[in-house]
Amino acid sequence: MKKNIALILLFMFNILYTQNQEYQFRFDVKKFRKDWTKSKDNKSFSLQLKIFDPYGSPLVFNIAESSISEHPIPNINVFKGSSIDGTKRVSLTLTKKAISGSYSDQGVEIYFSPVIHKNCFYKVYIPHATGVGQEKDFVP
């Protein structure tokens, strides 16, 4: 009896775990900032962002700095770019200690942000449906 219950619980946990649409990875912001300064000084050096998709597959984006205002904001930089194969678009914000942003993959927005209480770790995730939009709005 106990084996059956344990087997059922293990099976349910496995189903819930496989439906998880989040992946955690290590990212060094200091190294990325050094590469960015190198790319500013050397125009032939292309800046690349290496992150993962929610299922753990690596992605590489060619990115460039994009201004968000006339006057630069100290320690906050915004980047935009596209994947090597040109199918995905990325937008990210670099602060002094972290990065965060999103990329679009076939119409699905996928976000990445720092993991709380873990230094240099980031998570890539697909947010849960929010229940808003024209399809679900009430029309009298």
pTM across the whole model:
0.71
Residue 60: phi and psi, rounded to 5, are -125, 130
Tell me the two tokens of residue 53. 């998709």
Q: What is the number of other CB atoms lying within 10 angstroms of the CB of residue 49?
A: 23
Find all residues with CB under 8 Å of 10, minimum gap 6, and list them: none
Would you kindly state where each structural domain of the chain is located, as residue ranges? 22-125
Q: Which residue type, as a one-letter code, is found at position 38?
A: K
Sign of CA dihedral 105, 111, 113, 115: negative
Contact 115, 123 (CB under 8 A): yes
Torsion, Cα of 25, 33, 72, 80 (10° steps): -50
pLDDT in tens, the chain (140 residues): 777 777 676 666 555 554 557 899 999 999 998 888 888 877 777 889 999 988 889 999 999 888 777 777 888 889 999 999 989 999 999 988 899 999 998 888 999 999 988 888 999 998 876 555 555 555 55
